[in-house]
Amino acid sequence: MRGVVESGDFLFRLYGSRRQDGYLNRERRVGPHMKYSQTVRCRNATHVAGSLFVFFLLGNICLRTVHSENWPAWRGAHGLGVSHEKALPTSWGPEDNVRWRVPLPEPGNSTPIVWGDRIFVTQALAEKHRRQLMCFSRRNGKVLWSKGITHTGKEVTHGSNYFCSTSPVTDGKHVIAWFGSAGVHCYDLQGKHLWSRNLGTQNHDWGYAASPVIHGELCVINFGPGEREFLVALNKRTGETVWQVDALRPADETALVVSGTDGDAPADDAQFDPARRSKSLRGSWSTPLLIRTESRDELIVSHPRRVTAYDPSTGNELWTCRGLGPLIYSSPIWDKGVLISMGGYFGGSLAVRPGGRGDVTSSHRLWHKLRSPLWLGCGVVHGGYIYVHNMRSVVQCMELVTGEVRWEERQAGTEGSNDTWSSLLLCNETIYHINQTGDTFVFRASPEYKLMSVNSLKERTNSSIAASNGELFIRTHENLWCISLK
């Protein structure tokens, strides 16, 4: 393991990025030395040479960092698991290409987010009933601050879905975390508490997992699943409710059922009875996705039985497409005008073209699979192909427009279970997939399977990999890791 490199903080001050309206817009920040070297009058050749040296040095730094980016939310700036970095590591180990690692107090499933020189992680302390947001220094992993609340109310979850399983989100000024029944909490980057909201009890035997997303002035949360389910948009500055869309009435959801899409979660009366949904094989743990079509913004949510688009500014429904099963774990993915929504527990999956109005099942749906593999993590799209893995680490390459499978490979780990709950990361033509035993498979995004490397940290994890400024950040049940070639 190498020592700490302290140039990263300087580089961020020189060149940063800001996320606005759901998109990542880079802002060049020229420091005082750059300005001085451009305006000072040089008195001799030595000064000229020195000024030119500084100019080219800073220019070189800017060129090297032009492709650096923040990772402000679960699955990155656009919610698609795509990084535009140019030099991410493809091989590492517990003592190889590790910039630092720091211990975490307890296991957790959330993914780190990164803004500039700070890393944010949600963390539960189960015995102390604490729900926390932790901030780490990017340079050395030092804990800068840890803020949160004590929640003593009754809260249930799956044995492997730890409390605080949702990832935080930031716009560079606000950092927002949703802790289920323990509420929504907002801080600034220095840890100052800005606001909190109690959205009421979230109750399901498997807990919650949908991370918040920021769009303009709004923070959107897919609250549920269980007895109380709704989609809510909060003012990111105050926490006040801007709009809320409640779950469908049981009769309306029953009307959306497509025969044969239940998978291994057959429909029963409990699915359509809100009072008993906390114990039913039904629900959505899916993080919303914001997309831009040719004419408008759309907020996409995968619900039980259907995928729906909303106007993100008002919450009004734009369109819906039927064909999903009752259990939804993964979030939607999209590229080249095609949206993919995948059901869980062998339920139905589909592809649809956004931009319609009303029920677009017959007019905009491109393909539909009544029964799917055991999807849980999210896939990625590249070059007209979908790459996605099931819970047993079987990876598929499918044609985006038709859903036809081009190849299928089981990625066997180095030890123990090959199961995975994580989502894929795409960087250029390289895909990263980490399983529960801490093995990361690096392979080509190609219609022909090509494995590049297998890298093991030998620690269990259910999180996904975050990428920023040439570095990978991996949260295991034991440590937070920074993987770097620097």
Q: Which of 85-89, 169-173, 238-242, 338-342 has the lowest mean pLDDT?
A: 85-89
Q: How far is CA 144 from CA 116, 173, 179, 335, 404, in A?
A: 14, 16, 21, 37, 48
- Give the DSSP letter of residue 55: H
Q: Which of 216, 220, 177 is nearest to 195 (CA)?
A: 177
Q: Judge whether residue 68 has pLDDT over 90.
A: no
105: which residues sit within 8 A by CB, 6+ positions away?
A: 123, 125
Is 356 inside a domain boundary?
Answer: no
The pLDDT assigned to 266 comes to 66
Gap between the Cα atoms of 398 and 384, Å rounded? 9
Is 50 inside a domain boundary?
Answer: yes
> Average per-residue pLDDT in the chain?
86
What are phi and psi for residue 50, nearest 5 degrees?
-65, -40
Q: Judge whether residue 404 has pLDDT over 90.
A: yes
Helix (H, G, I), strand (E, B) or coil at 205: coil
Q: Judge whether residue 268 has pLDDT over 90.
A: no
- Number of domains within the chain: 1
Q: Judge whether residue 189 has pLDDT over 60.
A: yes
Is 48 inside a domain boundary?
Answer: yes
Q: Which of 53-62, 65-74, 305-314 has the lowest mean pLDDT?
A: 53-62
Gap between the Cα atoms of 260 and 262, Å rounded? 6
**Is there a contact between 121 and 134 (Cβ–Cβ < 8 Å)?**
yes
* Helix segments in 66-107, DSSP class H: none
Q: How far is CA 191 from CA 110, 171, 221, 259, in A?
A: 19, 14, 22, 50
**Is there a contact between 439 and 413 (Cβ–Cβ < 8 Å)?**
yes
Gap between the Cα atoms of 324 and 341, Å rounded? 8
Q: How far is CA 157 from CA 100, 223, 329, 440, in A?
A: 32, 15, 15, 27
**Is there a contact between 369 and 354 (Cβ–Cβ < 8 Å)?**
no
* Helix segments in 297-387, DSSP class H: 361-364
pTM, rounded to two decimals: 0.85
Is 122 inside a domain boundary?
Answer: no
Structural domain boundaries enclosing 38 = 7-65
Q: Judge whether residue 223 has pLDDT over 50.
A: yes
What are phi and psi for residue 143, nearest 5 degrees?
-75, 120
The pLDDT assigned to 49 comes to 40
* Helix segments in 230-284, DSSP class H: 250-254
Is 22 inside a domain boundary?
Answer: yes
**Is there a contact between 364 and 320 (Cβ–Cβ < 8 Å)?**
no
3-state SS, one letter per residue, for 311-334:
CCCCCCEEEEEECCCCEECCCCEE
- Give the DSSP letter of residue 271: G
Tokens of 46: 């030595």
227: which residues sit within 8 A by CB, 6+ positions away?
A: 201, 203, 274, 275, 277, 278
Q: Which of 67-71, 132-136, 328-332, 377-381 has the lowest mean pLDDT?
A: 67-71
